[in-house]
Structure 1
């Protein structure tokens, strides 16, 4: 599997391009601010054709370029319905002070915007993505899990889990208790060798975070283990 990650925008959010191999179809995950040219460069370098955009949550630093990218390639985007409003009103998720940043800013919403409802499996570009709800950072945060041909496990966590940290829960739509439930029920039960591709910062593994992430210590695990 080909996995290319690169930071974009002022907040250096990670955008990812995933494909079974070079020279075929792919998906783009979380194209945030100023992501179009960076994504197009990676697509051209690897001879890839995008068939869809996946959004881990609705914050502007992860979705800002989704509309433009989707229009350029004529492809749909997927987002959880609880975060859909953020794509057309990015300031709504930032509180009163943050909202001022988007006064007068025009945001292009994907013309074909599809909802992720409940647990589902998306089959795109020859890959399968297991979609799990992960509320806490936002009400509509999700995790995208997939496997490589060699049997490796990948988990795109957005701003739910980082290397050594977790996403903030103090913005509108955030909920600390729900975040802890997500970590306990959706992160900790996963195998240690699961590679974590976070929304910011460096890649890590579930095992590394289980051992060293201070926010995961003492949480235990939920009865709702992930297969």
Structure 2
């Protein structure tokens, strides 16, 4: 799998353009805004977009979803239905975060734990990882040893849990029991900031490192 991280909006959250180099079919993961920048990236890489994938329902990660999906005439996949209330409340989120107005939408497919998503000949394994939001998912592509984690885990930090229906213990459990069962050398692509690896976070992340849990 090829991946290009595209920071979007003044919040500089990471939208990922992912694609299968064998077929040049691809997807945007978490198109939060700056749609023209996303179109340029797909064009420059000669990628044919076949779907949009969402890790969770927060506005800064879904703000351009409707526009981008319409532009390419492609379906929207994810997140888990636990985040339906976030997508239903996008107008209120727009006001809260002072983003351009966003209309509610529903994806073409909700995701569940252990689902798979195809992108070209790639297969993404879905991990339901609640805590930051109740419907948050992570996307594992095993051939490239890559996991896209949205706002679950960051380099040296973890996602916030002070939003509605956030749950700190659920987040810790999602990271420890799901993400940290992945290979240490797997590259972690978070929704904000730089990449890391599972092994680095297990050793050094002050919130969830193995040393904190005995």
TM-score (norm 1): 0.86
8 Å contact from structure 1 (residues 184, 219) kept in 2: no
Provide the residue aligned with 1:156 in structure 2: 148
Change (3 A) 1:220 1:43: same
* Unaligned runs of at least 5 residues, structure 2: none
Calculate the aligned-residue CA RMSD, in Å: 2.2
CA contact (8 A) 1:18 1:28 kept: yes
Change (3 A) 1:51 1:100: closer
Q: How many angstroms does 1:100 deviate by?
A: 7.6
**Matched ranges for 1:51-66 at <5 A:** 51-66=50-65
The whole-number CA distance in structure 2 between the counterparts of 1:108 and 1:43 is 25
1:83 is aligned to 83
- 1:142-182 CA-to-partner distances (Å, cap 9, x unmatched) read 0100033xxx3100000000000000001112100101111
Does structure 1 residue 145 correspond to structure 2 residue 140? yes
Distance 2:193 2:182 in 1: 21
- Deviation readout 1:13-36 (Å, 9 max, x if unpaired): 1000111217721011000022x1
Relative to the length of structure 2, the TM-score reads: 0.91
Name the CA shift for 1:172/1:92 in 2 (closer, same or farther; >3 Å): farther
Return closer, same or farther for 1:113/1:22 CA change in 2, 3 Å cut-off.
Answer: same
Q: Report matched runs for 1:55-204 at 5 Å.
A: 55-79=54-78, 80-90=80-90, 99=96, 101=98, 105-107=101-103, 109=105, 113-148=108-143, 152-204=144-196
**Count of aligned pairs:** 212
How many angstroms does 1:101 deviate by?
3.8
Instruction: Deviation per CA, 1:93-116: give whole Å up to 9, x if none.
Output: 69xxx63846x9242636x52111
